[in-house]
Amino acid sequence: MSWFTKSSPAAPPEPLPDIWHVCSKCQSHIFKKEWEDDLKVCPKCGHHDRLGARERIALLVDPGSFREFGEEILPSDPLGFADAKGPYAAKAAAAVKKLGQSESVVTGSGDVNGRRIVLAVMDFRFLGGSLSTGCGEKIVLAIEHAIQFKRAFVMVSASGGARMHEGILSLMQMGKTCAALQRLAAAGLPYVSILTDPTTGGVSASYALLGDVNIAEPGTLIGFAGRRVIETTIKQKLPDDFQTAEYQRDHGFVDIIAQRKDLKSVLARVLAYRVK
């Protein structure tokens, strides 16, 4: 066959634009832009997908008002821990590089409808939002900042619990953060806790449920041990809605369930409340 009649290999097809999002709960296909415009809430079933720390901050504070601090605090590796997937130090360094943040929590100050607050926001993408020595230190420094400048403290939790790569030192952060919150309360300053999916393990067992007001997004998983562990232990079938935000509200652990689009206005209303 002559060169001018020989067929050439087909050019690779152009990649299709990423225009669809599949809801992790109802499996509906949603236009990605529509889903993002709705703050990553499924318009079909109302499922609230997870947000990163920066997205959450943008949702809660006035544009341009956030000032980060504590970004010099990085993960530590006191045990020199490693498992079959590699050293913990390498995993932590990769998370820092990928997300552009120093730890599983981002801390700073910002305005909510003009009212200055101190804010700490956890990010589940950073090693499961785990509570580490660095994370605990950043939270405590944020609380101390709130005490120094006499501002309300707002904590947004999203975590699988303590970072066991750091052993007992990670568990010590539960008591350390709770002690700092006690100092905040003694100073007469409010603490608002916002629980997002998931809030579990040592985080739910410490600061996440200690708010003067506890606010949760709909359907948020809130609990300590997993359902299967509890059912195996107590030899009973748990309710279908067990450990949801709605279940926790009905049993007195959550005060308010707020749709994501209403979260900032609900927070502003809580912060503006004054005891007569």
Q: What are the residue ranges spanned by the domains of the chain?
A: 17-49, 50-272
CA distance 181 to 120: 13
**Domain 50-272 adopts which CATH fold?**
2-enoyl-CoA Hydratase; Chain A, domain 1 (3.90.226)
pLDDT, mean of residues 181-210: 98
| pTM for the structure as a whole | 0.92
List, for residues 148-164, the tens digit of each pLDDT value.
999 999 999 999 999 99
The predicted pLDDT at position 18 comes to: 84
Residue 57, classed as helix, strand or coil, is helix
Of the chain, the percentage scoring pLDDT greater than 70 comes to 93
pLDDT above 80 for 12: no
pLDDT, mean of residues 239-258: 97
Residues 6+ apart with CB under 8 A from 120: 105, 106, 107, 138, 139, 142, 153, 154, 155, 156
pLDDT, mean of residues 8-20: 68
**Is the Cβ–Cβ distance between 227 and 243 less than 8 Å?**
yes
pLDDT, mean of residues 97-113: 98
pLDDT, mean of residues 6-29: 77
pLDDT, mean of residues 104-113: 98
List, for residues 58-69, the tens digit of each pLDDT value.
999 999 999 999
